[in-house]
Amino acid sequence: MGVVLILFSILAYTQTGDMPSQSAMFPRIVLYGIGITGLLMIVDTLIKVKRGKATNDSSLTLNSFIFQILIPGAFLLITYQLLTIFGFYISAFFLIMVVFFYQTYRANNIKITGKHFLKGLIVAVLITAIMYIIFTLLLGLPVPSGSFFR
């Protein structure tokens, strides 16, 4: 998997050459991060093999398929539909809220209370505001506006 990430980051980086330097900055930073993650995955595997702790357990259970692939995939499909209707920032806000609640429920088994909902709302607003500042104000990138606002 590490090799795939490195190859993907190299191939995707070659596609940023035609972009203006300011617009290419964010994708390049993300691609550097993907490449470094791939490299770290390779190093981690080599260290585990050297220590004799490597496992070859790659079985996929129904539980992990549902909660790690199916449900997050459904979130992304719903977000895509929201993106075409409401635009980037509203869709991102929705996705951040849903992922926040889903992750805290799955990791800590915390039910949604008023306090927890407020915390999720604050996190979603802050992250969406930061994305707006970076993408729209600093980088000047156009984002999808959705058919609802046309």
Provide the residue range defining the domain that includes 12. 1-58
For residue 63, pLDDT beyond 70: yes
The answer for residues whose C-beta is within 8 angstroms of residue 104's C-beta and 6 or more apart is 110, 116, 120
Residues 4 and 68 placed together within one structural domain of the fold: no
Residues 72 and 110 placed together within one structural domain of the fold: yes
Residues 66 and 134 placed together within one structural domain of the fold: yes
User: What pLDDT is stored for residue 58 in this prediction?
Assistant: 63
pLDDT digits (tens, 9 = 90+) for 106-136: 888 878 889 989 999 999 999 999 999 998 9
CA distance 26 to 131: 11
What is the number of structural domains in the chain? 2
Domain edge (last residue) among 20, 37, 58: 58
How much of the chain exceeds pLDDT 90, in percent? 40
Residues 19 and 71 placed together within one structural domain of the fold: no
Residues 42 and 99 placed together within one structural domain of the fold: no
CA distance 115 to 120: 9
Q: Which residue has the higher pLDDT, 43 or 110?
A: 43
Rounded to two decimals, the pTM is 0.65
Residues 124 and 65 placed together within one structural domain of the fold: yes
